[in-house]
A = this chain, B = another copy of it.
């Protein structure tokens, strides 16, 4: 695994931020001024393929990257703020209802974050 791949993986694992490729690039550039965007994109794709990180497709905004550990997401409908949350595992329930086995699932729960609720 390349130098940048390691650093990018650390950035993703050490932050709660769900950064976009652009944000990761800017962050990485602070310590690695020579890095270019394409390298970040390439590394992100490699890491996804290896299952080391997870890509989150968002509506009307660039993809964000997240740890690969299984968990769900809470998304503020208003400001789009994204936070990790672990709801009870639904695999059994879903498999039972489907009548077959599933590989995984992606659950985004929309709500109004405390800040937006006060408006």
Chain A residues packing against B (C-beta within 8 Å): 55, 57-59, 63, 74, 77, 85, 87-88, 90, 93-94, 97-98, 100-112
Given A57-B59, A88-B93, A93-B88, A105 contacting B109 (CB threshold 8 A):
yes
Residues of B within 8 A of A111 (CB): 98, 100-103
**CA–CA, A108 and B103, complex, Å:** 11
Given A55-B59, A57-B59, A106 contacting B107 (CB threshold 8 A):
yes
The answer to whether B110 touches A105 (Cβ under 8 A) is: yes
**CA–CA, A103 and B80, complex, Å:** 13
Closest B residue to A55 by CB, please name it.
Answer: B59
Residues of B within 8 A of A90 (CB): 90
